[in-house]
Structure 1
């Protein structure tokens, strides 16, 4: 399966959608029930989100989502900067008390095996390093998006898939020539659109996710029918509106396409499939491949054996990391 969201210039595109008409919404947009549905312009949608519109005919409840906190947003927008200094990151993190406390709790957890207790954010950032601090801040921001949704088995399943894909992406990063923390950040963000839809429409999305579908395409079609957009499109809208770096926008929009290289996008596409192959599917479908089949069918031959060995050696580590970041 391959679905393109780019034109020849490399710009992300979304097919025009015919969305269901809506009655008067919170911002006073009035539509009669029999009015023709509006055509969907993704750039307009992104602008509406960035302006903080509460609800629009184009985006519905998705527009209610609050962006990530300022710390995560600023760290993401500096995603590919190599000249950041620790003092700059410390200043950013210290400006948001919730992030500071969560990061300190995490760095002192068994996940990192710290000797003694770290109580200062300066020491925590120095211990973690800039890239790891950024990756953890983004993970915490993604988790905070779900705080408004009911804590159901579906929510935990979707979250575990996101974390699983991030952990696997970090594990496989050396084989793809990608830095570990770039891989982790891209992996945790790949299902931004699904988490956005679940948060905006908790009961309808849970009802959709509880069923076994025929294929990924069937899941996307069901999402478009129910919400006027699928989770890949929703991820594109949110990542554009929040001005994430281009590579992260592509990951959110194109993670279900088949891997075709050794870049960040291909790494996440592979990791998403492998997470599902380990039984960590966000939404189950009948065409789901196991880990051996995924490696055989989707990993480039040059690194296939290395990836297989990495997965065999790290099975327990993957699940331990997932549990450490669970709700």
Structure 2
């Protein structure tokens, strides 16, 4: 296990302990916890000097400040940083999984990881740092749909978003908010000598309200969609809705029918096809026709 990977794992273990139900964690308890967790991952024991360095790295990378309360004799995450803590909670969880389940760790003997795991973990800490300290970034970007053409980009990073086990960077490119697949980013460089003023009035929660997944194509209208499925497929769609706008119209032994309101993007159409064995598109008619043509082309290819 490389020192860089081990160091990142240790940061995540510390945060995992301090964001738990215990408000104050004594020094010795934190040392023992981190040492035990790192031994599970073939890591080395830690001491107070290592922890102090890690606290600084955690603040630099994630914006999370770890303090010590003398009266309570314990470490804690500063309450004023709770918003940042929640903002990065899912990100930290994914880091923990990605870094823990490597071939050198004995965890793989009882945890079954996906065959394909994202390759972007080294890119994410640098992007978090650039976002936190308002630094532009430069990188080479691979446009897969253009035959892997590579273009140089200089952007203002704003958000990181996860979708279907992939990470995406939301950044302003020539005053337009665009989405970049982190898998396609190469030669990332933080421009430390430059800073930008972040627009704090952006409602991040509404950016993708009307879209499926990561692609919010505003040139595509928001439409009412009605879909019919079998009762069996309906049981899955009740537990994992297609979209937050999903509204159940019919739910019985014969049919499960839902209504949605969102943009009909390629990603959404692909999602419909993934459970198409019982799908009937009721409306809009142009979506029904689009699905029909996809089926027809598939039949031609298999004749």
TM bin, normalised by shorter chain, reads under 0.3
Query: Higher RCO, 1 or 2 (CA under 8 Å, sep at least 6)?
Result: 1
Structure ranking higher in strand proportion: 2
Using structure 2 for the length normalisation, give the TM-score. Answer: 0.28
Structure ranking higher in helix proportion: 1
